[in-house]
């Protein structure tokens, strides 16, 4: 049975996620992307990303985490990104990108996950992004139109 303190913690945690998702949508707009937050994204098994974005013909599905020093993205959440892109976006894989995004204080780190890993069922159990890491995706320069 959840106590009032547990409910307060859960509300704070959800607000933190909502805040980071909203900030990322604004950042993507500023960089020339069309982006929307998916308000029904939740811990269910439905294949929905936190954010969908498009720049040119490229479509991005983002899973977003707010953290201080590191963020973990479980395999099930990464799989949901690929299932969403695969089931609902009828284009080739070269135009669809599954991205995990860590909001670490004022810093954003982005890591694109490989389609090959998903197709061969080789996704790691979790993807970790540390504050000192470098992402493999730069939203300023990736996939020009």
Tell me the domain boundaries of the chain: 4-130
Whole-prediction pTM: 0.84
Distance separating alpha carbons of residues 76 and 98, to the nearest angstrom: 13
Q: What is the mean pLDDT of residues 133-141?
A: 83
| Residue found under tokens 């976006």 | 89
Give tens-digit pLDDT for 89-135.
998 999 999 999 999 988 999 999 999 999 999 999 999 999 888 88
Is pLDDT of 143 > 80?
A: no
Give tens-digit pLDDT for 21-58.
999 999 999 999 999 998 865 566 778 999 999 999 99
Distance separating alpha carbons of residues 85 and 93, to the nearest angstrom: 9
Is pLDDT of 14 > 90?
A: no
Q: What CATH fold (topology level) applies to the domain 4-130?
A: Trna Endonuclease; Chain: A, domain 1 (3.40.1350)
Distance separating alpha carbons of residues 102 and 69, to the nearest angstrom: 10
Is pLDDT of 140 > 90?
A: no
Distance separating alpha carbons of residues 97 and 62, to the nearest angstrom: 8
Distance separating alpha carbons of residues 36 and 138, to the nearest angstrom: 19
32 phi-psi bin (left φ>0, alpha ψ -120 to 50, beta other): left
């Amino acid at each position: 049975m959840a106590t009032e303190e547990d409910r307060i913690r859960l509300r704070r945690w959800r607000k933190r996620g909502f805040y980071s998702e909203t900030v990322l949508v604004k950042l993507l707009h500023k960089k020339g992307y069309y982006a929307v937050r998916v308000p029904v994204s939740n811990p269910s098994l439905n294949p929905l990303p936190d954010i969908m974005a498009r720049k040119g013909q490229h479509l991005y599905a983002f899973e977003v985490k707010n953290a201080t020093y590191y963020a973990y993205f479980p395999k099930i959440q990464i799989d949901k990104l690929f299932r969403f892109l695969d089931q609902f976006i009828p284009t080739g894989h070269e135009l669809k990108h599954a991205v995990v995004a860590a909001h670490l204080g004022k810093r954003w780190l982005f890591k694109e996950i490989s389609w090959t890993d998903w197709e061969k069922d080789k996704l790691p159990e979790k993807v970790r992004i540390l504050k000192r890491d470098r992402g493999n995706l730069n939203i300023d320069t990736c996939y020009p139109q």
